[in-house]
Amino acid sequence: LRLGHDEFRYIMLNKPTGTVSTTDEDDEKSVMRLLPTEMRRLRMFPCGRLDIDTVGLLIITNDGQTAHALLSPKHHCEKTYGFECLPLPEGAKERLEAGIELSDFTSKPCEVRLDTVERGTITVTEGKYHQIKRMFHAVGSEITFLERLSFGGIELDKTLSRGQWRYLTEDEIRELKSAADGN
């Protein structure tokens, strides 16, 4: 598939642990090093960040306007993560869902689904620094594994191994743009 230099590209990457969401070509841990060299020349960048030890869905694009809109607090772009944690204390789920007061902000209400007291999913509409880890710490638990499963309505392709990538489908691009428009 050959596209012109002026066309936008949208990539789904299954980010492995030990990589960082940076465009710094000199950083050996940069997620951009997982892409072919010709893709890295197209001014592509990760749409948002995942911590070095967080895995899963990372959208990489050269569409700055859509990326900015997706990351804007006013659009409330949903991000769902699978997690494993130290056992959640009684009432922790309800506290997490109501919003947690942290030192520099109060998290917005979120949705938590528990499989057990040590694993489940959490859906947030923010992306503050170490937000989920800090929220769990505030309720007396600790995240031991975190994987982004969806972003802006796009779900991680389960056929992608860690470190693999693919282009988004036309339907996924429409879904992403709809999320960027706040729909």
Phi and psi for 77 in degrees, rounded to 5?
-65, 120
d(CA 168, CA 152): 13
Q: How many residues does the chain have?
A: 183
Token readout for 51 is 């911590």
With b for 16 or more beta-carbon neighbours within 10 A and e for fewer, the 28-66 pattern comes to eebbbbbbeeeebeeebbbbbebbeebbbbbbbbbbeeb
Residue where the block lists tokens 């520099």: 104
Catalytic residue among 26, 27, 51, 157, which? 51
Phi and psi for 135 in degrees, rounded to 5?
-65, -45
SS (H, E, C) 49-73: CCCCCCEEEEEEECCHHHHHHHHCH
d(CA 88, CA 33): 37
Q: Establish whether 157 is a catalytic residue.
A: no
**Could you give the residue numbers annotated as active site?**
51
